[in-house]
Amino acid sequence: MQIAENSAVTIHYTLTNSQGEVLDSSEGQEPLAYLSGASNIIPGLENALVGKQVGDKLEVTVEPEQAYGPLRDELVQKVNHENFEGVDDIHVGMQFMAQAPWGEQPVTVMNVEEDGITLDGNHPLAGQTLTFAVEVVEVRAASEEELSHGHVHGEGGHHH
């Protein structure tokens, strides 16, 4: 069976950046399960896997626009220390959930200065070209329940 919309797909993968550094991998873990066509994974990888079948191995390079998007300057801003009442030690790299007009937004502390704290709301992989080494492990028709929930259930997928 080939990967198509509404397929329940399981893959092993290794993700590297443009410098060849491994950023994430399913090696030694359960493979990643996703529902094809449900936007469970980044578009560039999902599109490259359409038509593949069990046993296929491929390397996919995904540009930022088809991954986590370009870096957006408007998602970087300096805020007052008062926004962190009750937090004694704030340092670069810490992550918080911030309230944005569209809901909660994860932000990363980029700089801590006397006049404020610089936060970045971009995804940590935004602006990066990513390469995935992928092996297709399983492809099957998704169940009606998986289709209605928008994700794969069971091993490697979502557990309710």
Give 113's strand partners: 116
| Residue-level pLDDT at 98 | 86
| Residue-level pLDDT at 156 | 56
How far apart CA 24 and CA 12 sit, in angstroms, is 11
Q: Are residues 120 and 52 in contact, defined by beta-carbon separation less than 8 angstroms? A: no
pLDDT above 60 (res 12): yes
Express each pLDDT in 35-75 by its tens digit: 999 999 999 999 999 999 999 999 999 999 999 999 999 99
> Confidence band (pLDDT; 50, 70, 90) for 105?
confident
Q: Are residues 156 and 88 in contact, defined by beta-carbon separation less than 8 angstroms? A: no
pTM of the model: 0.83
Complete DSSP assignment for 109-150? EEEEETTEEEEE-S-TTTT--EEEEEEEEEEEEPPHHHHHHT
| Residue-level pLDDT at 74 | 93
How far apart CA 9 and CA 152 sit, in angstroms, is 8
| Residue-level pLDDT at 85 | 87
What's the order of all strands across the beta sheet hosting 116-120?
76-79, 116-120, 103-113, 95-100
pLDDT above 70 (res 109): yes
Q: Are residues 98 and 107 in contact, defined by beta-carbon separation less than 8 angstroms? A: yes
Average pLDDT over residues 120-131: 96
Average pLDDT over residues 18-45: 96
Domains of the chain with bracketed CATH: 7-68+126-149 (3.10.50.40), 73-120 (2.40.10.330)
